[in-house]
């Protein structure tokens, strides 16, 4: 079965949204801890981060939301944030507190694979990654390798990036771990096409948009993505 990762920004209502997503078929929840200068995020997630910060969602409060989310779902929960948040809070302290609150791993998109190797995390690779950097990320990643389908920021796009196929082929030569693709995947059609090439997909901006409409709308989106993924046979 293909894996569906759904991104949600940390907010007071996130536990309820996460439960709706999981009930509709999400296998993993990626939980955004907001940052004032999110270099990898497009306009939708950037605005969500601004709303989160305006609602008082600093790191300590995000950890509370993480714990509350862990109390209502039993899927992997992966905080996604930036290295500056770790710098400010303390690397070992944030890792320990997040794991105590229920984190399964971490995603830190602005942290190179060869930095802070004591922090076990999901590594990202992009079409611009050299073979050497791709291998380094594959060798150190935690559980699965995150394939960034495009060069640039997150955000919905009209069609699946053609760069995914060659990137997936290179990644499969580097590792036997699952490959999940994200950035620009926003429709069931995108998800189905990506799943022909990889083991799962990450849906961010479109999930954040649906979450703004409430749990029911998010659940409908996730159910449509789940149905599309279930149409695709497992990659050999």
Catalytic residues: 30, 41
**Euclidean distance between CA atoms 9 and 169, whole angstroms:** 31
Q: Distance between CA atoms of 141 and 131, rounded to whole angstroms? A: 15
CA of 115: how far to CAs of 31, 137, 210, in Å? 22, 11, 35
Judge whether 218 and 207 are in contact, CB under 8 Å: yes
CA neighbours closer than 13 Å in the CB half-sphere of residue 88:
10
Count Cβ atoms below 10 Å from residue 172 Cβ, excluding itself. Answer: 17
Q: What is the dihedral of CA 119, 58, 15, 97, to 10 degrees?
A: 40
> Rounded to the nearest 5°, which phi and psi values hold at 109?
-65, -20
């Amino acid at each position: 079965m293909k894996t569906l990762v759904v991104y949600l920004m940390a907010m007071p209502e996130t536990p309820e949204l996460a439960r709706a997503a999981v009930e509709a078929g999400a296998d993993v929840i990626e939980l955004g801890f907001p940052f004032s200068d999110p270099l990898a995020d497009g306009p939708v997630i950037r605005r969500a981060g601004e709303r989160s910060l305006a609602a008082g969602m600093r790191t300590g409060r995000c950890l509370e939301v993480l714990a509350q989310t862990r109390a209502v779902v039993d899927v992997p929960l992966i905080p996604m944030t930036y290295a500056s948040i770790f710098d400010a809070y303390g690397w070992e302290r944030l890792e320990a507190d997040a794991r105590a609150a229920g984190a399964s791993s971490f995603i830190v998109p602005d942290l190179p694979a060869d930095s802070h190797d004591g922090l076990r995390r999901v590594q990202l690779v992009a079409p611009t990654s050299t073979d050497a950097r791709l291998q380094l990320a594959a060798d150190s990643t935690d559980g699965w390798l995150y394939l960034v389908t495009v060069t640039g920021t997150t955000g919905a796009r009209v069609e699946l990036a053609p760069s995914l196929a060659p990137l997936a082929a290179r990644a499969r030569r580097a590792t036997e771990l699952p490959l999940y693709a994200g950035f620009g995947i926003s429709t069931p059609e995108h998800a189905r096409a990506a799943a022909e090439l990889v083991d799962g997909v990450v849906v961010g901006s479109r999930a954040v948009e649906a979450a703004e409409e409430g749990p029911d709308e998010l659940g409908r989106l996730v159910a449509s993505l789940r149905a599309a993924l279930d149409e695709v046979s497992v990659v050999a």
